[in-house]
Amino acid sequence: MTSSKRSDAITKGPSKAPARAMLRAVGYGDKDFAQPMIAVVNTWSNVTPCNMHLDALAEPIRQGVRAGGATPIDFNTIVVSDGITMGGEGMRASLISREVIADSIELAVRGHSLDAAVILVGCDKTLPAAAMALARMDVPGLIFYGGTILPGNSKGKDLSIQDVFEAVGAHGRGDIDDGELDRIERAACPGAGACGGQFTANTMAMALAFLGLAPMGAGDPPAVDGNKAVEAERCGRLVAALAKRKITARNFVTEASLRNAATAVVASGGSTNAVLHLAAIAAEADVPFTIDIFDELSRTTPVITDLKPGGQFLARDLYDAGGMALFGRRLLEGGRLTDAPTVSGKTLAEELQDAPETPDQKVVYTVDNPVKATGGLRILYGDMAPEGAVLKTAGYDDGSFTGPARVYECEDDAFKAVQSGAINEGDVVIIRYEGPRGGPGMREMLAVTAAVAGQGLAGKVALITDGRFSGASHGFVIGHVAPEAANGGPIALIEEGDILTINAEERTINADIDWEARRAAFVPRPLNSLGGAFDKFARLVSSAAHGAVTSKSF
């Protein structure tokens, strides 16, 4: 270790006596000042099971940092629970929280001139926010994922939060009664951990491991598994080593590693939110990236896991089968990954090549014998989406869909229509003014897609929005339509009954209308002003096609 370090700015020299005096009051001493000083950034909260256990996992991380010859310094930041806010006004805060979390990490680490950071994450937006902050600051650091929740169980069936949302739809149709809905609600979430399928949290945990910013295997054990604390201690040692060697985040966030991360998303049937988040991480790292990478990969990369929401199994089952490393080994064997460095000190290939496999496991397939021959995401262009839109096809055919538009100006109105039985097979549901700027906040539409699924219409209707879809959403769903309605995008010009055609194979989304006449008659709608952080976000946010970031202009 060289003698100079970033934290010397607060610990070294006569002029820093006041800073040292305050640090001594907290309990730090000369030995602590001489070592790398590492931020242990926690997103702990008891508002959600995803993050409720992270306070306990911070202590083994601290132990690992100390054992590695460094000094841990604790900070906290926020979390906004997607599962709790879903379907309501609070969901507008979710994507905005990603920016606030990244900003707060940057301010704490840079403000105190710390040498490195280890970031504990759980619920959806905390994962990309952690990577965005590390990429933006370009300091040594890594991300530790608190792990998946265990499945709930009712009547012998494994449950996740997806089942609760879909039960709401079934209840609305009259297929289940109040008692059955109550049973599912009470059984679905048995304790700590993030939502259990290949939804956004588990998708991003996998993506960050393949990006190289999270140690392979550290995120795999479920939240309540005894191995979680072991992995936490390992992460503490690893971040101390990174700090001493001064290996910073941008050594890992490269064009090659971003492609590996996108490959993992596509091959696992992961969340469309990863398109938004990987674009944002790339923007923070100043690495060239286009969302078209997902489409390119989907043409040649099969889905090789049978994970919910499109498949049968949950993240706990993937862990039991052999984990992310087994999944990665199969991709490596199939020639779908590029070797790259990771925060563990091993390259990605070294982490994957000897991954064990549980005999007779049913979760992970091979590239030559996949669950689905093509990847789970498509990037669509056309009349409706000049800057692109994201179609999730995992678990569904890749055909075309043509139908009449059913137009709703917000998610709430669309949900009411679904629950009242107003949506029929063959309809194309348009939900607009829910984009990053128009929402503001780009709400997820799980309440709508789950209600559609609960009514037996998943894949039988198409849903199109300038907002987002949850990682737990499934069906023929298209999100991130850009430009968004609030920016005068074509989605704002669609009228009830217009015939729309989506062709997944040709990657097109078009409407058979006179666009010039519609544009001439268009009257812009006033922005939805909520004040405070919401309006600030709306003023700063970029297009979804560029990750909906607030720190860059495009």
Q: Given a cut of 50, is residue 206 above it in pLDDT?
A: yes
Rg (CA), the chain: 23
Q: How many helices (H) and strands (E) does the chain have?
A: 21, 14
Give residue 1's pLDDT: 43
pLDDT-above-70 percentage for the chain: 98
Give residue 400's pLDDT: 84
CA–CA distance, 276 with 253 (Å, rounded to integer): 16
CA–CA distance, 360 with 356 (Å, rounded to integer): 12
Bridge partners (DSSP) of residue 372 are: 303
Mean pLDDT of 444-469: 88
CA distances from 425 to 17, 310, 405 (A): 72, 20, 12
Q: Is 110 helix (H, G, I), strand (E, B) or coil?
A: helix
Contact 161/234 with Cβ under 8 angstroms?
A: no
CA distances from 398 to 35, 50, 377, 391, 502 (A): 55, 33, 10, 10, 10
Give residue 376's pLDDT: 76
What's the pTM? 0.95
Tell me which of 344, 470, 542, 543 is the catalytic residue.
Answer: 470
User: With b meaning 16 or more CB within 10 Å and e meaning fewer, what string describes 200-232?
Assistant: bbbbbbbbbbbbbbbbbbbbbbbbebeebbebb
From first CA to last CA, the distance across the chain in angstroms is: 39
pLDDT band at 490 (very low <50, low <70, confident <90, very high): very high
- Annotated active-site residue 470? The verdict is yes
- Write out pLDDT tens, residues 279-318: 999 999 999 999 999 999 999 999 999 999 889 999 999 9
Place of tokens 């680490």: 109
Mean pLDDT of 354-372: 97
CA distances from 377 to 128, 291, 478, 543 (A): 19, 11, 10, 19
Contact 162/121 with Cβ under 8 angstroms?
A: no
